[in-house]
Amino acid sequence: MIEIEKKSVVPIYGLMVVWVLYCVIFPLDSILSFVGLASAGLIAYGVFSLIFPGKTISINATEKPKSTGDEKVDTLLTEGEKSVAEMRGMSAAITDDAIKQKANELISVTDSIFKKLLIEPDVYTQVKRFADFFLPTTVKLLCSYVRFSQSGVDGENITSTLERISNALDTTLVSYRKFYDSLFETQALDIETDIDVLDTMLKKEGLLDSDFDAKNS
């Protein structure tokens, strides 16, 4: 957001009117008369500027796209930005404070991971693997939570599903933090184990089944 001061045109018109009136009333036949004309104009402009100061308007500035110069890294950065935007939209729709906090923490860590990639493109391989599994999984979990919590239906099945999603978000957040910390270590973390653990847990809870939505709709 950029603020731009837009000056009023009234002082300029006022200046012109005063000059015209001055020329009608006083003949411009000496240096002193021209000095008087200039002085009258300056006074008029100052007075009208105080009365009509203009206004400040705000405009949305188009942010310069982030780029590393590496096409595959830039593509991944774009995917990350889209995922973060999706997660923010879902977080805004969540009314439960505890779940909203989990969602916002996931968003914060995700944003930090992609900022790290922007600064150090060498972590591309690790972030790519992370993004291929965790981002779509997280987006699906949040999307499902929002949909079920806003279904307007109370029941044991819905309550149980929301609880399972909440627990899955806890596990996911732990993995996010662990992965982010690993990006600052000299030896890259093998996240396959974390992926396998989370994948197994989600499948066991029925949160990654292809017919998950159908079961709970």
pLDDT in tens, the chain (217 residues): 445 556 676 777 776 887 778 787 887 778 887 778 788 878 877 887 788 776 665 545 444 446 778 899 999 999 999 999 999 999 999 999 999 999 999 999 999 999 999 999 999 998 998 888 888 888 888 998 998 888 877 788 888 889 988 998 998 898 889 888 888 875 455 556 666 667 776 776 665 554 344 344 4
66 in any annotated domain? no
Which residues form the domain of 44? Answer: 2-59
- As given in the structure block, the two tokens for residue 83 are 């995922």
Question: What is the per-residue burial (b if ≥16 Cβ within 10 Å, else e) of 164-179?
Answer: bbeebbeebbebbeeb
The reply to whether 75 and 171 lie within a common domain is yes
Q: What is the pLDDT of residue 192?
A: 61
Give φ, ψ of 207 to 5 degrees: -90, -5
Query: Domain count of the chain?
Result: 2
Report how far residue 165's alpha carbon sits from residue 168's, in angstroms, rounded to the nearest whole number: 5
Residue 125 inside a domain? The answer is yes
| Furthest-apart CA atoms within the chain: distance in Å | 99
Shared-domain flag, residues 86 and 25:
no
- Is residue 42 in some structural domain? yes
Tell me whether residue 149 is in a domain.
yes
Question: What pLDDT, on a 0 to 100 scale, did the predictor assign at position 72?
Answer: 93
In this structure, are residues 15 and 52 in contact, taking their beta carbons and an 8 Å threshold? no
CB 102 within 8 A of CB 143: no
Task: Judge whether 64 lies within some domain.
Answer: no
Enter the pTM of the model: 0.60
* Domain shared by 11 and 101, yes or no: no
- Amino acid (one-letter) located at 69: G
Tell me, yes or no, whether 112 and 194 share the same domain.
Answer: yes
Do 34 and 117 sit in the same domain of this protein? Answer: no
pLDDT score, position 32: 80
Residues 93 and 178 in one domain: yes
Residue 26 shares a structural domain with residue 106:
no
Q: Are residues 48 and 137 in the same domain?
A: no
